[in-house]
Amino acid sequence: MSESVLKKEFRGADLQRLRNLVQGKMGDKTSVSSGYVKDHVDRKEGEVWEEDSRQWTIKNGVKQTISKLQAVRDVALTPLFCPDCKTLMKGRYDGQFYKIHRHCFDCHIKFEAEIKKEGRWEEYQSQVQNSEIDGMINNYEIWVDDLLNETNDGFVTELGEVESWSKVNRDKIIKQKEEAIEYLKKLKK
Ligand SMILES: [Zn+2]
């Protein structure tokens, strides 16, 4: 997905808005303070409120339901005990290592030593990269689908303005999503 391909598909403000959406950015400082506006109520990043009997919040400038955010958070949740050695994961690096490797720091040190001994270090390194890219693709898909499915009555632009989804906008974002995923897949070894 080169810069020139992007420019052909999206122009000017469209391009910048989609870029900000894809990057999950709030934009410049002014957008943070302007927040979300509906029925003359100012909504700010991180604020939680009830509407249509659902809980909503603003995350990265985009209005979305709490339940979806919770579902994403649960996936990333670290268990108390390491699934491999069954010891309590209380070490300084355990949480960090669990998120990537699904076991504790000690288990991972042993695992890498074993891999090196077997002479599979290079092969292992490219596997790690591939699974990191898969994780990135997965998160990105959840994020874009959330955006499209959970904000039917509009989305918040980088300037804090509410815009309605049009068919054109949806199609553009779906196309952009497919292109981004294609691009990420090409990074795999
Ligand atoms: Zn362990």
Residues in the chain: 189
Q: How far is the CA of 35 from the centre of ligand 1 (A)?
A: 43
Q: How far is the CA of 89 from the centre of ligand 1 (A)?
A: 8
pLDDT of residue 164: 57
Q: Check if the beta carbon of residue 94 is closer than 8 Å to that of residue 82.
A: yes
Integer CA distances (angstroms), 58 to 1, 69, 132, 153, in order:
29, 11, 27, 14
Q: How far is the CA of 82 from the centre of ligand 1 (A)?
A: 5
pLDDT of residue 109: 93
pLDDT by residue for the chain (189 residues), tens digit each? 444 443 343 344 555 555 555 555 443 333 333 344 344 467 787 788 877 667 777 777 777 776 655 555 555 567 888 999 999 988 888 887 887 778 999 999 999 999 999 999 988 888 888 888 888 888 778 777 776 765 555 555 555 555 555 666 777 778 888 888 888 888 887
Sign of CA dihedral 98, 100, 105, 110: positive
pLDDT of residue 112: 92
Question: How far apart are alpha carbons 71 and 87 in whole angstroms?
Answer: 26
pLDDT of residue 114: 94
pLDDT of residue 159: 52
Q: How far is the CA of 119 from the centre of ligand 1 (A)?
A: 22
Two tokens, residue 188: 């795999």
Task: For Cα atoms 50, 156, 1, give the angle at the middle one, nearest 5 degrees.
Answer: 130
Q: How far is the CA of 45 from the centre of ligand 1 (A)?
A: 37
Q: For 88, which DSSP code?
A: B
Question: How far apart are alpha carbons 109 and 178 in whole angstroms?
Answer: 37
Two tokens, residue 113: 């030593």
What residue type is assigned to position 179 of the chain? E
Q: How many CA atoms lie within 13 A of 100 on its CB side?
A: 14
